[in-house]
Structure 1
Amino acid sequence: MPILEAELLDKTPLRDTAQTFTITPWQPALGAVVKGLRYDGGAIPEETRASLKKALLDHGLLTFEPGTVTGQDFTEFLEAFGDVVLYSGPLTPAVSAKTQANVVDSTDKRVARNYIWHIDQAFRPNPPNYTALLGKIVPEFGGDTLFSNAVLAYERLDPLFAAYLETLTVVHYWDATGHMADRFLDKEEFARQRALNAPIETSIVRVHPETGRKQLFVNESYTTYIKGVSRTVSQSLLTILFEAIKSPEVQGRFHWTPGALVLWDNRTVQHRGIGDFASQSRVFHRVCIN
């Protein structure tokens, strides 16, 4: 795949008067690496925004080297991709009252769900289009993040099996794995949140609204069962689909360095952390984008 290059001539949001950045493939299954881009605030030139957006849709995920953004302008940079929305909770508080980013901190041992494959907010009718993580404190070793391409997972299925899946409806639920009760110290608030987040139904196979490509829309964190089939058939089919998502052939593994930024299409790319960093700290700032 050829390298994409863009000349940035508008010096308002950039450190240099003229700057060239490159976008190159990251892994065979998904992702691209953006190098040479430095953001210092202000509006991003339309040519730059269009190049990044196209690469994001083409590859599903973009990685940015440390120094591309700072913690202060992290959220502002991502506004180029849509409306930034704060999804915070008892374990993911807002970074500050002035930002729409929230903190994901491994020191709270109730974050076990972060290590299960998921799409952010997939229990909602309209999950965020994109998610971004900025590495604030990362382990010296371990603590990588796995990403999986649900479009490629679908395309690798037998065509007859894929056609059958398109006839099926699946149910997703906020507390499908039973982890949420452990995340709330206030039992009344847990009950209130549980009532607010009723199960939702979707098709197993979804079509991306911008690329038109089909994907599997099931994940281990929130998918509960397939409608209209027996429990045994539902569990068996979901096991096959979860394994398809976890196949090494559709994955990439990202090793964090302080200040690194990863932005992905939350509609098609699933992720999970790897909890192999012992007592080291692992702290991210997260932004969701509609």
Structure 2
Amino acid sequence: MEIRQLAGALGAEVLGLDLTGQIFDTDFVAVRDALHVNGVICIRDQGEMTPEDQLAFAARWGEISIHPYVPSIEGYPGIMKIYDPNPITQTWHSDSTHMSDPHAYTLLLARVLPKVGGDTMFASAVRAFQSLSPRLQDMLRTLSAVHEGTSLAADAGLDHEAVMAVHPVVRAHPDTGGEALFVNDNYVTRIDGWTPEESQPLLEYLYRVIGRYENTYRHRWRDGDLVIWDNRSTQHAVVGDVAGEERVLHRVTIAGSAPA
């Protein structure tokens, strides 16, 4: 097995690992450690993985999370079909931050890819926070933000309280201790205790910092790619340039803990 860094900010690829067979503990630990260092990893050449293989490998990362209102593919609870980039997925975000315990990891397996396009952008929320002035960092550590579910939750009939949470604007990674910005334009509606109008200038500035080129990595999908990212330290957004071609990926998310 070989692990190679893909960009300066974040991102690495794993070569020579077959997830359809036995995975040694030493290999899994090396992959997990690489993810914590690089924020996002791509395990190449996993096109032969079955849904059972994906769920079995995902279970090694923790408890598989079942989405509360987006259905799983039939027969495989926990695997969600991802297709057709939309305005929500094209915005910088971390998965399901409106939950009291947002997801820790996401595993996304390429099933059908367009000839070109449909790349996924990743950003290091750790590097973004580190780039801020010490005085601003200190102020942000004192703030929390209100996260609320999208219109899809309301359409599914979920109560508002079930898809709303208040989280620190800066969270510490439970394994590495690294501090990361934990606000995103998908779910955050305001700074806790502030009005939306007061909150917007600061939030928009932080979103711009997260998306700065020097904090990002662009993943160009290949057949058989299994991409795993850490939702505690990164954000992601799909590039919506697929012109009518099919793009299908299978997603599994791993339950996390309350940000602190």
Looking at structure 1, the residues matched to 24 and 152 of structure 2 have their Cα atoms a distance apart, in angstroms, of: 42
Looking at structure 1, the residues matched to 83 and 223 of structure 2 have their Cα atoms a distance apart, in angstroms, of: 14
- With normalisation by structure 1, the TM-score equals 0.82
For residue 14 of structure 2, the aligned residue among 28, 31, 34 is 34
For residue 48 of structure 1, the aligned residue among 19, 27, 33 is 27
Q: Match of 1:252?
A: 217
The residue identity in structure 2 corresponding to 1:74 is: Q
Structure of higher RCO (CA pairs closer than 8 Å, 6+ residues apart): 2
Q: Deviations over 1:152-178 (max 9, x none)?
A: 100011111111111112111112xxx
Does the aligned pair in 2 maintain the 1:139–1:280 contact within 8 Å?
Answer: yes
Does the aligned pair in 1 maintain the 2:44–2:224 contact within 8 Å?
Answer: yes
Q: Match of 1:141?
A: 116
Q: Match of 1:67?
A: 46
For residue 86 of structure 1, the aligned residue among 66, 69, 77 is 66
Looking at structure 2, the residues matched to 221 and 231 of structure 1 have their Cα atoms a distance apart, in angstroms, of: 14
* 4+ long deviations beyond 3 Å: 228-233
For residue 180 of structure 1, the aligned residue among 139, 142, 152 is 152
For residue 159 of structure 1, the aligned residue among 118, 134, 141 is 134
Partner SS, residue 98 of structure 2: coil
Q: Match of 2:88?
A: 113
Q: Percent identity?
A: 33
Looking at structure 2, the residues matched to 233 and 196 of structure 1 have their Cα atoms a distance apart, in angstroms, of: 23
Q: C-alpha displacement at 1:113, in angstroms?
A: 1.2
The residue identity in structure 1 corresponding to 2:182 is: F
Q: Match of 1:8?
A: none
Looking at structure 2, the residues matched to 194 and 101 of structure 1 have their Cα atoms a distance apart, in angstroms, of: 24
The alignment status of 1:286 with 2:251, answered yes or no, reads yes
Figure out how many residues of one structure are paired with residues of the other and give that number: 254
The alignment status of 1:129 with 2:101, answered yes or no, reads no
Q: C-alpha displacement at 1:230, in angstroms?
A: 5.0
Partner SS, residue 253 of structure 1: strand
Partner SS, residue 284 of structure 1: strand
Does the aligned pair in 2 maintain the 1:117–1:271 contact within 8 Å?
Answer: yes
Partner SS, residue 153 of structure 1: helix
The residue identity in structure 2 corresponding to 1:54 is: D
Does the aligned pair in 1 maintain the 2:100–2:164 contact within 8 Å?
Answer: no
Q: Deviations over 1:233-288 (max 9, x none)?
A: 31110011010111111100001122211001111111111111111111110000
Q: 1:70 to 1:231 in 2, by over 3 A?
A: closer
Does the aligned pair in 2 maintain the 1:88–1:102 contact within 8 Å?
Answer: no
Q: 1:278 to 1:153 in 2, by over 3 A?
A: same
Looking at structure 2, the residues matched to 68 and 152 of structure 1 have their Cα atoms a distance apart, in angstroms, of: 32
Q: Deviations over 1:41-76 (max 9, x none)?
A: 44x221111111111111111111123751331221
Q: Match of 2:174?
A: 209
**Unaligned ranges ≥5, structure 2:** 256-260
**Unaligned ranges ≥5, structure 1:** 1-20, 185-189
